[in-house]
A = this chain, B = another copy of it.
Amino acid sequence: MSLSIKNPIAEVGRLDPPTRLLCGPGPGNAHPRVHAAMSIPQIGHMDPAFLDIVEDLKKLLRYAWQTENVFTIPVSGTGSAAWEAAVANVTSPGDIHLTCVSGYFGERHCDMASRYGADVRRIEKPWGEVFTLDEIKKAVAEHKPQVLWICYAETSTGARQPLDGIADVCHANNCLFMLDTVTAIGGVPLFLDKSGVDICYAGTQKCLSCPPGVAPLTIGPRALKKMEDRAAKGEKVANWYLDMTMIQKYIVAPEGAPRVYHHTAPISMVYAMREALTLIAEEGLENCWKRHQETAEYFWGLIEAAGMEMLIPNKEHRLPSLHTVKVPQGIDAGKVVKHMREKFQIEIGGGLGAQLSGKVWRIGLMGYNSRKEVALTIVAALKDALVAQGWKPKA
């Protein structure tokens, strides 16, 4: 046989992406040392030396999340894959998922959980607000869920959900506490064990300064018990790639036990995540959090000094990683995004979803990009884009 599809090389040329400062909702720019780690020639996924690297990664990840969970691993996909792994492994058909929706990602959880036969119940707040413990208590009493899902750091709104007391409510009602920490891990104070979280996932491309392509997942004792109970009943996980009962034999086997192949791990991304977590440990977790908070406060100050306003009035409910800035009246939000990208090679994000589209920008100062000089640059470029639309900055 001969080729019928012609060689496109003359048409496509070589890979030549532009250089951007990434201050949208993520990915942020990865740390140069993380890119360097990806350029190290890989080894095999069953190589004892690779399994040692994964063991080191697991220790570093437990530190970043402040958890003792043995089952704390890199999942072979982006953050949403780790999320779906959490859902698929602890959801039996008919399980009630109480979903706290105050942004785009709450909507996603409803959709995702429904794919696994969950009976999804939702409580809602306007996007950008957080839930009170009383609201959560009432909803748990009413719905008697098997799983409560809430987002610690809503990437669509910039809101930071207080976690105090949620675990007690869940555990008094035999309910698993599932937490989304995608835009928090490494940048926002987070104590998984002290907060009583049962199952949790995150992304690498936000405060971890690592490209997307591998994602953190941790499963605590209560959630593991649920997985074991399901397995004992002969209930298979309705997802092969993310079946943690199989992956456990590969990556969480007890010391000395044989490692059983499941799927090929994304080796270079594991190197990247290992290096990203090393950077956090070198800086010290509390110093990382402090840096994010200081950069955030500096940024908020610049925004307000310029005469703009943050979406979330209460600073305690604002994330220090992802910032929602209100679009001033009369300004075309999309044009500003385009201006910043085309004139300055800067990426910021627009609003996501019906409630916030066109009404806010989402500006990430996360991980490697959580630096005062980045905040300064972003605000200067934002002002330039606004002035181009006739807006007058206060300062």
Contact = CB atoms under 8 A, between A and B. Distances in A.
Interface stretch (A220-228, A275-283, A292-300, A310-318): A275-283
A264 B19 CA distance: 19
Contact of A264 (B5, B79, B239): B79
A212 to B, nearest CB: 5
Contact of A4 (B11, B47, B194, B212): B194
Nearest to A13: B56
Contacts of A205: 264
Given A20-B47, A53-B17, A237-B115, A261 B63 contact: no
A207 to B, nearest CB: 14
Contacts of A95: none
Contacts of A27: 42, 44-45, 264, 267
Interface in A251-273: 261, 263-269, 271-272
A48 to B, nearest CB: 8
B267 A63 contact: no
Interface string A49-71: 11001001001101101111000
Interface residues of A, number: 99
A14 interface: yes
Contacts of A275: 15
A79 B112 CA distance: 22
B17 A29 contact: no
8 contacts: A1-B189, A5-B193, A8-B63, A8-B281, A17-B43, A18-B43, A19-B41, A27-B44
Q: List 6 A-B pairs, minimum CB-CB distance, nearest first.
A: A213-B266, A12-B56, A9-B281, A80-B263, A211-B268, A38-B38
Interface of A: 1, 3-9, 11-15, 17-20, 22, 24, 26-27, 29-30, 35-47, 49-50, 53, 56, 59-60, 62-63, 65-68, 76-81, 84, 108, 111-112, 114-116, 189, 191, 193-194, 203, 205, 211-214, 236-242, 261, 263-269, 271-272, 274-275, 278, 281-282, 284-286, 341, 347, 352
